[in-house]
Structure 1
Amino acid sequence: MDRSTAPIQVVIDTVDPAALVVFWAGALAPRGYSVPAPPGDFADWPAFLAAQGVPEERWNDASTLEADGQPRIFFQRVPEAKSGKNRLHLDLLAGGGPSVPMELQRERVAAEVSRLEVLGATRVVEHADLGVHWVTMRDPEGNEFCV
């Protein structure tokens, strides 16, 4: 897929794109996401940005995660810290949904929650409703997401 024609991207505001992309790259790696390589033959993004004349103080203005056939996730630097509840959040579908027995959902979700806590996420609250089990969590900057 030509990523330049991807139908949508999800944008996450952050005070530190470089740090937050590390968390989300680890969180979403099992789903095929990674930081894309820089264009051309550049060894890394700093080399590319320097060649484009971008001042070094702007190198952490943005970062991206991509996966074939999936929405691009774009992290953009903003001056303010998160101040309220997200109006949009990511769901990392680990339990399997209502067709999976609740005990198996709990086991699957618990394993994913443990993996994400090692990466820096924090558990907020556990839920079970309409035959589905999930946990609300926060990434290292406090953005809510569900597992």
Structure 2
Amino acid sequence: MAVRFQITIDCQDADAMSAFWSAALGYVVEPPPAGFLSWEDFLRSNDIPLPPAHSISAIVDPDEIGPRILFLRVPEPKTVKNRVHLDIRSDRTDDGKRQKISELVEAGATEVRRVDEHGGWWMVMHDPEGNEFCVT
């Protein structure tokens, strides 16, 4: 049986990263548990201290297929290349890739370099905090 998992991304501004990645992936910011109007209400109701602003946020697949992605503020900045990264799969046509790349740049991503290999190409990009990802 498969194991459920989430992806956790260290960052400086969890809310900004949630906004970017929810737009990039078609995800939504995770709603509070049933019966609560906000995460703050849930935390207060369960005697859990409120975290500092912009320090934690999560996004989820509205179709409940993809994994939950959690963003956590950490004190240290990103310093080296990611050992793991996400690939955003477009419709694989040149126009489809270009359109997705354009949407991501508009949302705050940066193009790094185009890679042409094995008869195809993909774009290496950075999210707003400099984490690498690719559009394939």
Query: Structure 2 length normalisation: TM-score?
Result: 0.86
Q: Indicate the percent of aligned positions where both proteins have the same amino acid.
A: 39
Q: Which of the residues 6, 9, 33 maps onto 1:12?
A: 9
**Partner of 1:38 in structure 2?**
32
**Total equivalences in the alignment:** 132
Q: Which of the residues 49, 52, 60 maps onto 2:43?
A: 49
Q: Is the 8 A contact 1:65 1:74 kept in 2?
A: yes
SS, match of residue 80 in structure 2: coil
Task: Please tell me the root mean square deviation across aligned C-alpha atoms, in Å.
Answer: 1.9
Q: Which has the higher helix share?
A: 1
Task: Give the residue type in structure 2 aligned to 1:23.
Answer: F
SS, match of residue 29 in structure 2: coil
Q: Runs of 5+ in structure 1 lacking a partner?
A: 97-104
Change (3 A) 1:111 1:72: same
Q: Which of the residues 115, 120, 125 maps onto 1:127?
A: 115
Question: How far apart, in 2, do the equivalents of 1:38 and 1:20 lie?
Answer: 18
Question: How far apart, in 1, do the equivalents of 2:52 and 2:9 lie?
Answer: 17
Q: Runs of 5+ in structure 2 lacking a partner?
A: none
Moved over 6 A (4+): none
